[in-house]
A and B are shown apart, each in its own frame.
Chain A
Amino acid sequence: MKVTLKDITKRFPGKDKKSGPVTAVDDFDFEIPSGQLVGLLGPSGCGKSTTLMMICGLEKPTEGRIFFDDEDVTDVPPEERGVGLVFQNYALYPHMTVEQNIMFPLGNLKGADKLSKEEMKKKALEAARLVQIEDLLQRRPRELSGGQQQRVAIARALVKMPRVLLMDEPLSNLDARLRLQTRVEIRRIQRETGITTVFVTHDQEEAMSISDTIVVMNKGVVQQIGRPQEVYDDPHNLFVATFLGTPPINVFDGSLRGGKVYIGEDAVYDIDSLDPETEKETSGSGAKADGNSGVKKGPGRLADEAGDIPVSVAIRPEGFYLDPEGPLHCSLLGVEVMGRDVTVISKHPAFRGESIRTIVDAENRPGDVQREVRFRIRPGKIFVFDKETGERLYGRK
Chain B
Amino acid sequence: MGKKRIKTALIYILLVLWALIVLFPFYWMILTSLKSYSAYNSEYIPKLYTLSPTLQNYVEAFTAVPLGKYLLNTLIFAVCTTAIMVVVSVLAAYAFARLQFRGKNLVFTLFLALMMLPNEMVIITNFVTITNAGLRNSFPGLILPSVMSVFYVYLLKENFEMVPDSLYLAAKVDGTSDLKYLLRVMIPICKPTIITIIILKAIECWNSYVWPRLITDDQNYYLVSNGIQEIRENGFGRENIPAMMAAVVIISIPLIVLFLIFRNKIMSGVLRGGTKG
Contacts and interface: CB of A to CB of B under 8 A. Distances in A.
A80 to B, nearest CB: 7
A85 B170 contact: yes
Interface SS of B by simple majority: helix
A88 B166 CA distance: 9
B167 A79 contact: no
Interface stretch (B31-39, B129-137, B174-182): B174-182
A93 interface: yes
Contacts of A36: none
B263 interface: no
Contact of B173 (A83, A90, A94, A95): A83
Nearest to B191: A95
A58 B173 contact: yes
Contacts of A88: 166
User: Counting chain A CB atoms within 10 Å of each CB, which of B170, B175, B176, B189 scores highest?
Assistant: B170
Contacts of A80: 175
A147 interface: no
B188 interface: yes
B185 A93 contact: yes
A1 to B, nearest CB: 16
Contacts of B185: 93, 95
A108 B173 contact: no
Nearest to A156: B170
A79 B175 contact: yes
B176 A85 contact: no
Given A91-B166, A93-B185, A84 B176 contact: no
B174 A94 contact: no
Interface in B119-137: none
A58 B174 contact: no
Interface residues of A, number: 25
A84 B180 CA distance: 19
Contacts of B166: 87-91
Contacts of B169: 58, 85, 87, 91
A80 B174 CA distance: 9
Contacts, number: 57
A93 B174 contact: no
B167 A91 contact: yes
Interface SS of A by simple majority: loop
Interface string A84-109: 11011111011110000000110011
A89 B164 contact: yes
B189 A108 contact: no
Contacts of B171: 104
A83 B167 CA distance: 16
B188 to A, nearest CB: 4
Nearest to A96: B188
A325 to B, nearest CB: 58
A93 B174 CA distance: 13
Contacts of A58: 169, 172-173
B102 to A, nearest CB: 12
A165 B189 CA distance: 27
A287 to B, nearest CB: 28
B180 to A, nearest CB: 7
Nearest to B187: A95
Given A85-B170, A108-B180, A91 B175 contact: no
Nearest to A153: B170
B138 to A, nearest CB: 40
Nearest to A168: B166
Contacts of B188: 93, 95-96
Given A91-B164, A91-B166, A91-B167, A78 B189 contact: no
A318 to B, nearest CB: 39
A357 interface: no
Contacts of B184: 93, 104
A56 interface: yes
Contacts of B191: 95
A84 B175 CA distance: 11
A109 B177 CA distance: 11
A392 interface: no
Contacts of B173: 56-58, 78-79, 83-85, 105
A329 interface: no
B176 A108 contact: yes
A160 interface: yes
A56 B174 CA distance: 11
A326 B166 CA distance: 55
Interface string A56-85: 111000000000000000000111100111
Nearest to A56: B173
User: Counting chain A CB atoms within 10 Å of each CB, which of B164, B171, B173 scores highest?
Assistant: B173
22 contacts: A57-B173, A58-B172, A77-B175, A78-B172, A79-B172, A85-B169, A87-B166, A87-B169, A88-B166, A91-B170, A93-B167, A95-B188, A95-B191, A96-B188, A104-B176, A105-B175, A108-B174, A108-B175, A108-B176, A108-B180, A156-B170, A160-B174
Interface of B: 164, 166-167, 169-176, 180, 184-185, 188-189, 191
Given A84-B173, A95-B191, 14 more contacts: A56-B173, A58-B169, A79-B174, A80-B175, A83-B173, A85-B169, A85-B173, A87-B170, A93-B184, A93-B185, A93-B188, A104-B171, A105-B174, A108-B174
9 interchain residue pairs of minimum CB distance: A79-B175, A105-B174, A91-B166, A87-B166, A95-B188, A91-B170, A108-B175, A85-B173, A78-B173
